[in-house]
Amino acid sequence: MRQFDIITHCVEYNNLEELEEADRLLLEQAIRAGMDAYAPYSQYYVGAAVRLSGGSVCTGNNQENVAYPSGLCAERVALFAASALYPGVPVESLAIAGRALHFAITEPVTPCGACRQVIAEYEQLHARPVRLIMMGEKSRIWTVDSIRHLLPLMFAADQLRKHL
């Protein structure tokens, strides 16, 4: 038998001012998008902003439903809108910001497992890493250069192919 460790890498920034301008502008759009989230059940408002190669930006926010599983996270709303409006255009970056009604979110909001899998899909489709920029309400900011850092050992398309 053999044991091995998997190392992931995340960069932490203290505030928006420390970010590169492109990241800061995208995160500001995510923060703004979160203000329009439809989240009456959780009262947890998430905004996401996707920047595509070429500079177009699509935003999204969480959309909840009285039948809870019918709702969708901000990240997937933004990514699916981007893919629908700009089919075939690679995703460069995705910014995520969260705010809650009854408490301060003091850690960056990180995407759920299903959203990680969706981000991985676009990363593989375009063979380009997706940069993630994540923030809470009163929190530091974390960035990763690829979804691989949040989803190690991911199920990838090449595993579907038969190797004869």
**Residues with catalytic roles:** 75
Backbone angles phi, psi at 69, to 5 degrees: -65, -10
Pair 95, 29: CB distance under 8 Å: yes
Provide the pairing of β-strand 131-135 with 91-100.
parallel
Query: In angstroms, how far is CA 74 from the centroid of its own chain?
Result: 8
Decide if residue 74 touches ligand THU (CB under 6 A).
Answer: yes
Residue 146 makes contact with ligand THU by CB under 6 A: no
Is residue 13 near ligand THU by the rule CB under 6 A?
no
Stretch that binds ligand THU, among 10-18, 40-48, 120-128, 145-153 (CB under 6 A): 40-48
Q: Do residues 22 and 163 touch, judged by C-beta distance below 8 A?
A: no
Comparing CB distances to ligand THU, the nearer of 54 and 113 is 113
Q: How far is the CB of 117 from ligand THU (least distance, A)?
A: 13
CB 16 within 8 A of CB 137: no
Task: Kindly state whether residue 79 participates in binding ligand THU, applying the rule CB under 6 A.
Answer: no
Task: Give the binding site for ligand THU (CB under 6 A).
Answer: 39, 42, 44, 46, 62, 64, 71, 73-75, 96, 109, 111-112, 115
